[in-house]
């Protein structure tokens, strides 16, 4: 499944779930800040994607992509802010964002707001190519 | 056209009592019904035959609802056979009445595990296919004892009150996905489960029932049919009392002049 096809599925899902205009959904739209999605909307979106593509995604997988191999304790400090090790990992995922500026207030919610349509399309694309190779 | 044509329904604990009446009622409206019980029995086979003889579809699947692995196997078998699940009636329930001071921990947990654990297990097991197809009806069989105290039933009443909470909460989670979740709370229904109680206390309970009779399993089944059909598409998170008025006031007969 090509990235463009996956993007179309995600876009269509977002239009249905959030009632947003399809012109407002781009690869760089962030779910939280730009589109106003909340947790149930994401769950709803994931089921629509699974229905269209047969690819099952969970919210914990999304968290895992952001968190990498770091454990919850390694990733967040006691105040719920992303640790320096966590920051390094996230910065690799988001080369275009300057995270050092917001490092001190980068909690789970803020982190999620950095998650864009492109990231989700990549996750679905990776799973699609993996299942093809199996 | 029948109300449940082409629908697939699982009714847990349906080899006898209220569950059996529900299975018969849903199948008579065209639903393909999965009869379930925790052991193989002649009652189960007889019920499947009775439904098939009328030209309707039914199969028996043995599963203990308090065991998630068995529930998952049942659901997988239904999906293999019929490809979908439209209706789940969480009916399986047991009672182990005792005064609290004399109630064993085993009696407490067995009732909680079957009555409440069974509702969780079965609902959890059917929910993914329902969410993907974006439709479904989940009907939990509660009890009027969830609302009013009844002697020796702290385990049973707790399990049923928890089912009401589960119903209301899950209804919120699933509304987005086009799935309605409701409960039916029967009063005193003439089944084997209530036989002893009716014998001991029937003459004292009956005056509290406005309609002046104990309910029949079919009285409950007809309300379940309503909740399983498109007639109730704007209804969710509701606990419907099917009690003939038991518990709704201080009784019919006491106020006669």
In degrees rounded to 5, what are phi and psi of residue B142? -95, -145
Q: What is the mean pLDDT of residues B194-218?
A: 92
Question: pLDDT for B117-167, tens place per residue?
Answer: 999 999 999 999 999 999 999 999 999 999 988 889 999 999 999 999 999
pLDDT at A100 over 90: no
> Which one of B135, B174, B176, B179 makes the best mutation probe of the A interface by having the most chain A beta carbons within 10 Å?
B176
Question: pLDDT for B45-96, tens place per residue?
Answer: 999 999 999 999 999 999 999 999 999 999 999 999 999 999 999 999 999 9
In chain A, the residue whose alpha carbon lies closest to the alpha carbon of B128 is A47
pLDDT number for residue A98: 76
Band (pLDDT 50/70/90 cuts) for residue B251 is: low
ipTM: 0.83
Contact status of A52 with chain B (Cβ, < 8 Å): no
Query: What is the value of pTM for the model shown?
Result: 0.91
Q: What is the mean pLDDT of residues A22-26?
A: 95
pLDDT at A125 over 70: yes
Question: pLDDT for A76-91, tens place per residue?
Answer: 999 989 999 998 888 8
Q: B91, B14 in Cβ contact below 8 A? A: yes
pLDDT at B36 over 80: yes
Residues B8-190+215-248: name the CATH superfamily.
NAD(P)-binding Rossmann-like Domain (3.40.50.720)
Long-range contacts of residues A69-77, Cβ cutoff 8 Å, at least 24 apart: A76/A107, A76/A108
Handedness of CA B105, B109, B115, B116 (dihedral sign): positive
Interface contact flag, B131 A40, Cβ < 8 Å: no
Q: What is the mean pLDDT of residues A38-56?
A: 93
The helix (H) or strand (E) run that includes residue B9 is strand B8-11
- Distance between CA B64 and CA B53 in Å, rounded? 27
Cα-Cα end-to-end distance for chain A: 15
pLDDT at B254 over 80: no
In degrees rounded to 5, what are phi and psi of residue A90? -65, -40
Q: Residues B82, B156, B234, B254: which is the catalytic one?
A: B156
List the structure tokens of A42: 């994401």
- Distance between CA A99 and CA A106 in Å, rounded? 8
Residue B206's beta-bridge partner residues? none
In degrees rounded to 5, what are phi and psi of residue B149? -65, 140
Q: How many helices (H) and strands (E) does chain B have?
A: 8, 7
pLDDT number for residue B55: 97
pLDDT number for residue A105: 85
Interface contact flag, B177 A51, Cβ < 8 Å: no
In chain A, the residue whose alpha carbon lies closest to the alpha carbon of B131 is A47
- Distance between CA B163 and CA A10 in Å, rounded? 36
CA angle B112, B63, B118 (to 5 degrees): 25
pLDDT at B252 over 60: no
Q: A81, A107 in Cβ contact below 8 A? A: yes
In degrees rounded to 5, what are phi and psi of residue B161? -65, -40
- Distance between CA A56 and CA A77 in Å, rounded? 30
Partners of residue B134 in chain A, C-beta under 8 Å: 47, 51
Contact status of B200 with chain A (Cβ, < 8 Å): no
Q: B48, B26 in Cβ contact below 8 A? A: no
| Mean pLDDT lowest among A13-17, A129-133, B85-89 | A129-133
Residue B189's beta-bridge partner residues? B215
Question: HEC profile for B135-193?
Answer: CEEEEEECCHHHCCCCCCCHHHHHHHHHHHHHHHHHHHHHHCCCEEEEEEEECCECCCC
Average pLDDT over all residues of chain A: 88
Interface contact flag, B177 A47, Cβ < 8 Å: yes
Contact status of A59 with chain B (Cβ, < 8 Å): no
Contact status of B176 with chain A (Cβ, < 8 Å): yes
Q: A57, A127 in Cβ contact below 8 A? A: yes
pLDDT number for residue B257: 54
pLDDT at B256 over 70: no
DSSP B109-131: HHHIIIIIIHHHHHHHHHHHHHH
Q: What is the mean pLDDT of residues B15-23?
A: 98
Q: B251, B195 in Cβ contact below 8 A? A: no
Regarding predicted confidence, which is higher, A131 or B212? B212
- Count CB atoms within 10 A of the CB of residue B60: 18
Band (pLDDT 50/70/90 cuts) for residue B110 is: very high
Contact status of B112 with chain A (Cβ, < 8 Å): no
- Residue ranges and CATH numbers for the domains of chain A are 3-133 (1.10.1200.10)
Q: What is the mean pLDDT of residues B202-230?
A: 95
Contact status of B132 with chain A (Cβ, < 8 Å): yes
Band (pLDDT 50/70/90 cuts) for residue A109 is: confident
pLDDT at B171 over 60: yes
Band (pLDDT 50/70/90 cuts) for residue A107 is: confident
SS3 category, B96: coil
Q: Is B156 a catalytic residue?
A: yes
């Amino acid at each position: 499944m090509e990235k463009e096809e996956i993007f179309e599925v995600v876009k269509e899902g977002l239009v249905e779930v959030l009632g947003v205009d399809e012109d407002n959904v781009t690869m760089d739209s962030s779910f939280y800040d730009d589109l106003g999605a909340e947790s149930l909307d994401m769950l709803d979106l994931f089921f629509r994607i699974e229905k269209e593509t047969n690819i099952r995604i969970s919210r914990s997988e999304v968290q895992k992509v952001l968190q990498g191999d770091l454990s919850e304790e390694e990733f967040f400090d006691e105040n719920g802010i992303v640790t320096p090790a966590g920051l390094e990992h996230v910065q690799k995922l988001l080369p275009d964002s300057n995270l050092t500026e917001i490092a001190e207030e980068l909690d789970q919610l803020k982190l999620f707001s950095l998650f864009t349509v492109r990231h989700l399309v990549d996750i679905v694309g990776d799973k699609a190519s993996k299942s093809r190779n199996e | 056209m029948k109300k449940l044509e082409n629908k697939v329904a699982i009714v847990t604990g349906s080899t006898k009592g209220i569950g059996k009446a529900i299975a018969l009622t849903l199948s008579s409206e065209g639903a393909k019904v999965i009869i379930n019980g925790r052991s193989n029995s002649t009652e189960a086979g007889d019920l499947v035959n009775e439904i098939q003889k009328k030209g309707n579809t039914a199969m028996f699947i043995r599963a203990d609802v308090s065991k998630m692995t068995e529930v998952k196997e049942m659901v997988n078998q239904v999906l293999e056979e019929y490809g979908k699940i439209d209706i789940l009636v969480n009916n399986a329930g047991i009672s182990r009445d005792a005064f609290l001071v004399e109630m064993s921990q085993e009696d407490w947990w067995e009732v909680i595990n079957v009555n409440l654990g069974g509702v969780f297990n079965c609902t959890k097991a059917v929910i993914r296919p329902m969410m993907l197809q974006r439709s479904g009806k989940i009907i939990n069989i509660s009890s009027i004892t969830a609302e009013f105290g009844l002697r020796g039933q702290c385990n049973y009443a707790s399990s049923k009150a928890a089912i009401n909470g589960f119903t209301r909460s899950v209804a919120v989670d699933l509304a987005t996905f086009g799935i309605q979740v409701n409960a039916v709370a029967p009063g005193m229904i003439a089944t084997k489960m209530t036989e002893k109680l009716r014998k001991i206390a029937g003459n004292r309970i009956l005056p509290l029932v406005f309609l002046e009779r104990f309910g029949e399993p079919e009285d409950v089944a007809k309300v379940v049919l309503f909740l399983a059909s498109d007639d109730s598409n704007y209804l969710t998170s509701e606990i419907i009392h099917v009690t003939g008025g038991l518990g709704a006031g201080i009784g019919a007969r006491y106020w006669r002049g």
